[in-house]
């Protein structure tokens, strides 16, 4: 399943690049870098789950940008609250659209949509789509804060696991556990610091 994810991401990035390509002379080409932290809650919007990540991108025009984004999501219910080795990873290619001009000490509304993959330790990788409502507040010509409310929707593939043990009489007893085969929403509120050279 992991081998199939790379071509999907490449096709998604290519499609986003073609669809969002501005007319000649319209592209700004300014690079964008973000570091973000907050919560990204699997299935239940009120079950707080830590998340940390970042994004790199390019401003295509005054109102459109492309971002490649990676976010680590804690697995606090299963493996502890760390965002280290047991965390899930969300890798997405995103198109972002801004409404109105950006100016220092002013708010700017944005929307972001993307496609990618949800990497899960010990489980199969899942395809992912996301949508976000964002608010940018520029505090310096090169620095802004971006708050986002988002939903990252993964299609978790079905996986069967068989567990076997022996009962009191020494006979083997096996049980099959099924994981996935469902759509999972990951509701998030994250705040990012954004830098543009």
Residue 186: exposed, middle, or buried by beta-carbon count in 10 A (0-12, 13-18, 19+)?
buried
Instruction: Summarize pLDDT for 134-147 with one digit per residue, the tens.
Output: 999 999 999 999 99
Number of domains present in the structure of the chain = 1
User: What's the mean pLDDT in 31-46?
Assistant: 93
- How high is the mean pLDDT of the chain? 85
Domain interval for residue 57: 2-195
Q: Sorting pLDDT into bands at 50, 70 and 90, what band is 49?
A: confident
Instruction: Summarize pLDDT for 60-70 with one digit per residue, the tens.
Output: 999 999 999 99
* CATH label of the domain that carries residue 36: 2.40.160.20
Nearest Cα to Cα of residue 41 among 73, 70, 72, 86: 73
Report the C-alpha dihedral over residues 154, 68, 49, 44, rounded to 10 degrees.
Answer: -30
The pLDDT assigned to 42 comes to: 87
Nearest Cα to Cα of residue 103 among 62, 53, 133, 61: 62
Instruction: Summarize pLDDT for 161-188 with one digit per residue, the tens.
Output: 788 888 889 898 998 888 778 899 999 9
What span, in angstroms and rounded, lies between the C-alpha atoms of 98 and 93? 17
């Amino acid at each position: 399943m992991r081998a199939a994810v790379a071509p999907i991401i490449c096709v998604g990035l290519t499609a986003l690049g073609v669809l969002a390509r501005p007319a000649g002379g319209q592209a700004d080409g300014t690079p964008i870098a973000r570091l973000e932290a907050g919560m990204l809650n699997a299935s239940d919007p009120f079950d707080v789950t830590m998340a940390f990540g970042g994004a790199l991108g390019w401003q295509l025009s005054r109102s459109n940008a492309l971002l490649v984004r990676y976010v680590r999501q804690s697995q606090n219910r299963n493996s502890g609250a760390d965002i280290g080795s047991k965390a899930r990873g969300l890798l997405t290619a995103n198109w972002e659209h801004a409404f109105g001009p950006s100016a220092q000490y002013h708010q700017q509304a944005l929307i972001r949509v993307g496609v990618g993959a949800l990497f899960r330790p010990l489980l199969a990788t899942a395809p992912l789509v996301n949508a976000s409502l964002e608010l940018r507040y520029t505090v310096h010509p090169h620095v802004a804060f971006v708050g986002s409310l988002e939903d990252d929707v993964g299609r978790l593939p079905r996986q069967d696991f068989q567990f076997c043990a022996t009962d009191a009489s020494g006979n083997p007893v096996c049980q099959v556990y099924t994981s996935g085969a469902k759509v999972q929403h990951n509701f998030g509120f994250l705040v990012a610091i954004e830098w543009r050279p």
